[in-house]
């Protein structure tokens, strides 16, 4: 089984555009779980432009499926993880002013920092995944950090997929093989969608989890969230 974790940041963005509590982010997370999502992902940025701190605590109290909190590991983020103890903490290298995660860690350059942070997260009893580019050096260095998983940044794959699917996926296939041989579990995320997800699944093995937000929520505007989750799950089965 490859797990589908639904990133619900965009639902919070929609709510925040108007104020109030419509749509209800926590209820949406519960409904995603009911419709078959294997996990819920949130990224609580310091400016709370989408997911708020209150959202994090509310969702953590209501869902029974896996909860993945991603973010830049500053003091605020570490305090959230310490309080909530989600199933997984996904570390991304983007500081607060970045619009969205768009690159993997410079693992070697941040080695001491990542080792220290991952050690603390393990002390909290939380599984750790770090966002990496699909190159051999980053993956081998990731092993040294002590992380449990890597999340392959799939933006370049999605960008190149329409031009040449096989060329687009080759480095990800190789990266997954290296990571698996090194004992790391493999997640993936960024711009995966209904057009490219099945192809990615077929060529990147073993794959533990994909985290999808923007494309999935956009599809749900036309198809409804229940039907959309079913379609994404079908791509992974």
In the predicted structure, residue 23 carries a pLDDT above the cut 60? yes
pLDDT of residue 178: 97
Q: Domains (ranges, CATH) in the chain?
A: 3-236 (3.20.20.70)
The residue annotated as part of the active site, out of 43, 50, 66, 209, is 43
The total of other beta-carbon atoms located within 10 Å of residue 214's CB is 15
Record the pTM: 0.95
In the predicted structure, residue 97 carries a pLDDT above the cut 70? no
Tens of pLDDT, residue by residue over 70-79, are 999 999 999 9
For residues 131 and 155, the answer to whether their CB atoms sit within 8 Å is no
pLDDT of residue 207: 98
The pLDDT-based confidence of 101 (bands split at 50, 70, 90) is low
The residue annotated as part of the active site, out of 66, 70, 151, 209, is 70
Percent pLDDT > 70 in the chain is 97
For residues 212 and 6, the answer to whether their CB atoms sit within 8 Å is yes
**Gap between the Cα atoms of 125 and 88, Å rounded:** 9
**Residues with Cβ within 8 Å of residue 202, at least 6 apart in sequence:** none
The residue annotated as part of the active site, out of 50, 66, 190, 209, is 190
Task: Confirm whether 43 is a catalytic residue.
Answer: yes
In the predicted structure, residue 105 carries a pLDDT above the cut 90? yes
Task: Confirm whether 70 is a catalytic residue.
Answer: yes
Nearest to 129 by CA among 58, 20, 210: 210
The total of other beta-carbon atoms located within 10 Å of residue 25's CB is 26
In the predicted structure, residue 99 carries a pLDDT above the cut 60? no
pLDDT of residue 94: 81
Tens of pLDDT, residue by residue over 55-72, are 999 999 999 999 999 999
């Amino acid at each position: 089984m490859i797990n589908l974790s639904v990133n619900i940041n965009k639902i919070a963005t929609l709510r925040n555009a108007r104020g109030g509590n419509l749509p209800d982010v926590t209820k949406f997370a519960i409904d995603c779980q009911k419709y078959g999502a294997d996990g819920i992902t949130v990224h609580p940025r310091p400016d709370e432009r989408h997911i708020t701190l209150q959202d994090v605590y509310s969702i953590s109290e209501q869902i029974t499926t896996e909860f993945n909190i991603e973010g830049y590991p500053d003091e605020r983020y570490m305090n959230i993880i310490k309080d909530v103890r989600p199933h997984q903490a996904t570390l991304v290298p983007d500081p607060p002013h970045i619009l969205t995660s768009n690159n993997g860690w410079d693992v070697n350059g941040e080695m001491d920092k990542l080792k220290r942070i991952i050690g603390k997260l393990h002390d909290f009893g939380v599984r750790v995944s770090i966002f990496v580019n699909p190159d051999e050096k980053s993956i081998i260095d990731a092993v040294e950090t002590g992380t449990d998983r890597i999340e392959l940044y799939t933006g370049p794959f999605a960008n190149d997929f329409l031009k040449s699917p096989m060329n687009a996926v080759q480095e990800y296939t190789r990266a997954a093989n290296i990571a698996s041989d090194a004992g790391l579990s493999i997640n993936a995320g960024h711009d995966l969608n209904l057009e490219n997800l099945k192809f990615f699944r077929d060529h990147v093995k073993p794959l533990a989890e994909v985290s999808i937000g923007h494309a999935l929520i956009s599809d749900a505007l036309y198809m409804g969230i229940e039907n959309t989750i079913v379609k994404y799950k079908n791509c992974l089965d």
